[in-house]
Amino acid sequence: MLAYVNKLFTKRYKQWKNNLHQYFETFDDPQEFKDREDNWAWLCSHFQELGYVKKAKANKSNREKMNLLHYSGLRPFSYRMEAQ
C-alpha cells in the first residue's frame, strides 16, 4: 500500500512540476517574475539551470524519436506476450 501511495505522489508531483513549467514557458522574459514570491524566484532559477535545460532538451528529443509505446496499462508489452 505504501509503495502505491509513494508512486501516486511521485506521479502527481511530476505532473504538477510539468504544469508549472508549461506555464513558465508561456512567458517570453523570466524577469516578469522578478517581483513575485520567493517560490517563483526559485522555480524560475530551477527552469533556467543549465542541467535542467540540457536534460529537458534531451528528453524532448528522445520523446520525438519514440515511435512505439512500450507499455499498455501497468504491464510492458513484453510481459503480455510472455503470458500468452
Q: For 25-82, write each residue's pLDDT tens digit.
A: 887 776 766 666 767 777 778 888 899 889 989 988 888 887 776 655 666 666 655 6
pLDDT score for 58: 92
Q: What count of Cα atoms within 13 Å lies in the side-chain half-sphere of residue 24? A: 21
pLDDT score for 34: 66
Q: How confident is the model at residue 21 (pLDDT cuts 50, 70, 90)?
A: confident
- What ranges make up the beta strands (E) of 9-82? 71-72, 75-76
Collapse the DSSP code of 33 into the 3-class scheme (helix H, G, I; strand E, B; otherwise coil) and give the result: helix
Contacts (Cβ under 8 Å, ≥6 apart) of 6 = none
